[in-house]
Structure 1
C-alpha cells in the first residue's frame, strides 16, 4: 500500500519530528509568499491601469489646452481686425463730420449772401 517514498517520509518524520515541523512551516511560508506575490502583482496591475488612465487624461487635457490656445489666438486675431476696422470707421466718421461742418458753413455763408443781396436790392 505504501510506496517507498511514503514509507521513507513516515520513517523520517517519526525519527525527526522537528524536521517535519520545519517542512510544514516552510510550506506555509511558501504559500504566504505566493499569496503576497499575487497580491503585489494585482496591486501592480491596478497601478498600471491607473497610470494609463492618468496619462490618457493628461493627454486629453493637453489637447484641450492646445485647442483653447488656438481659439484664443483666433479670437485675438479677430479682435485685432475689429479694432482696425473700428479705427478706419472713426476716420471716415471724422471726415464726414468735417465735410458736414464745411457744408453747413457754406450754406450759412450762401444764406447770408442771399439775404444781403435781397436787402440791397
Structure 2
C-alpha cells in the first residue's frame, strides 16, 4: 500500500473515533479533517474546498445551523414541554405525536428543514421521557 492510502485510512480512523467518542463537536471534527487532509498532502487545498460546491454539504451545514438557532431560541423547549405534557412519556404516544407534528410541518416546508426544526425538540422530549433519541 502506498503512504497516501495509509494516511487516508489513518485520518478516516481519527475522524470516526472523534465522531463516535464525542471528544470534539461534530463541526470541529469536520473542519479538522478538512485541514488535515491537504496538510498531509493526501488532497490539494482546492479539492478540500470543492465539497462546498455540493448542495448536500450546504444542506447539512444549514440543518446544523438552523437546529442550533432553534435550540438557542428556546421555542422548541416550549414545544417539547407541550408534547410531553399532552401525551405523557409512553414511547408509542410520543412517537405518534412527534411523527404527526413533523409530518404536518413538512407539508409546508422541505423535509430537511422540518427535521432541522424538530431535532432540538426531539432531543428534549427524549430526555424528558427517558426514551433514546435514536428511537424517536
Q: TM-score, normalised by structure 1?
A: 0.20
Higher helix share: 1
Specify the structure having the higher radius of gyration (Cα): 1
Higher RCO structure, 1 or 2 (CA under 8 Å, sep 6+) = 2
Q: TM-score, normalised by structure 2?
A: 0.18
